[in-house]
Amino acid sequence: MNLFDVYPLFNITPVRASGSYLWDEHGIQYLDLYGGHAVISVGHEHPYYVKQLTNQLQKIAFYSNSVQIPMQKVLAQKLGEQSGYQDYQLFLCNSGAEANENAFKLASFHTGRKKIISFEKSFHGRTSAAVAATDDPSIVAPINETPNIIFCKWNDASMLQQIFEANEIAAVIIEGIQGVGGVNIPEITFLQKIKTLCDANGALMIADEIQSGYGRSGKFFAHQYADIRPDIITVAKGMGNGFPVAGVLIHPNIKPKHGMLGTTFGGNYLACAAAIAVLDIIKHENLVTNANEVGEYLIHQLHGIPGIKEIRGLGLMIGIELQVPCAAIRNELLNEHKIFTGSSSNKNTLRILPALNISKTEADIFITAFKSIMYKQFKTSLAQ
């Protein structure tokens, strides 16, 4: 049997990892500034993380949600305390797409409505309603097409209001910071307008914090820069540092009932062990603060480098939009300087999504390499 060939792969085979580094089968070391799509939050193979998962694996790895699993309550308590959402409810699942599917379902149950507002350049997953709410027709199959998703222009409060006036809206979903779209940051006033319109029209605001959450933005959630409290928040990626786990944070006004949502693997023992370990590390190592400080340092160091059109970012979620497509520069970073970075749907934008415990010394390795490439590319002397 062959693998179903849907992934364009680099010819690199990592066999070991530690902190912000990977090693391939030839022993070549790579600096990881992408973390497998912003998944590695507390560093590869963090000793505490490995210990907690190993200890749990030696006890019990799995049972379904038909028995008491006290670790789920421990996880919910710690997540509530660190995020500032102690009064919310938590539904555990397995992936970001699954979290968003359940968010849509909850919004529809709660409001009795069908229509969801999403935004241009959005990415919310590849399944059913999640991919329908993703602004990329190339990955939307005919079965995913639906009139229930309405796309609005980014940061366009006037258009948003017009959509509300013309439709009965169940929910608005917005990324705390758009990731795949190119690290696009919503205006604070726009996020506040979304919440105001949702409240005034009986709709729910869904904050997709799957990539931008868990401290990556320099706050626990990126939407917290706008001082709002969405009705539903979805999380995944950095939540498990590589172990598949996701969640839906749910406003206390949204009432559960048995059978309303469900999952076989969500909230299993190993997933909880991974997610609890991540929260413990974020707290004890002050990683939200580190993300903010090193992110600011990186952005400052990037200013003045030739060939950059715009730098967008908060914390350690950084997009570097170049004056040219970034593919060649990204490949040179990887092949010549052994540094992993990310791309986006904006072909000119390079994404930087390192572990939250990256050091300034490691950031400098990237800055030095990136400068050398850009000065060479734009034939500008370093002396100038």
Confidence class of residue 384 from pLDDT cuts 50, 70 and 90? very low
pLDDT digits (tens, 9 = 90+) for 89-132: 999 999 999 999 999 999 999 999 999 999 999 999 999 999 99
Q: Is residue 10 part of a domain?
A: no
Q: Are 351 and 34 in contact (CB under 8 A)?
A: yes
pLDDT digits (tens, 9 = 90+) for 60-79: 999 999 999 999 999 999 99
Return mean pLDDT, the chain.
97
Average pLDDT in the 207-231 region? 98
Kindly state whether residues 176 and 88 are assigned to the same domain. Answer: yes
Average pLDDT in the 26-54 region? 98
pLDDT at 377: 87
Element at 74 (helix H, strand E): helix 70-83
Element at 98 (helix H, strand E): helix 96-111
Domain that holds residue 247: 47-284
pLDDT at 378: 85
Count of structural domains within the chain: 2
pLDDT digits (tens, 9 = 90+) for 130-181: 999 999 999 999 999 999 999 999 999 999 999 999 999 999 999 999 999 9
Q: Is the pLDDT of residue 383 over 70?
A: no
pLDDT digits (tens, 9 = 90+) for 186-201: 999 999 999 999 999 9
Q: Is the pLDDT of residue 268 over 50?
A: yes
Kindly state whether residues 272 and 305 are assigned to the same domain. Answer: no
Kindly state whether residues 273 and 373 are assigned to the same domain. Answer: no
Kindly state whether residues 280 and 303 are assigned to the same domain. Answer: no
Kindly state whether residues 103 and 225 are assigned to the same domain. Answer: yes
Kindly state whether residues 229 and 362 are assigned to the same domain. Answer: no
Q: Are 26 and 15 in contact (CB under 8 A)?
A: no
pLDDT more than 90, % of the chain:
98
Q: Which of 361, 40, 325 is nearest to 211 (CA)?
A: 40
Element at 250 (helix H, strand E): strand 246-250
**CA-to-CA distance for 78 and 283, rounded, in angstroms?**
10
Q: Are 348 and 326 in contact (CB under 8 A)?
A: yes
Q: Is residue 12 part of a domain?
A: no
Q: Are 260 and 252 in contact (CB under 8 A)?
A: no
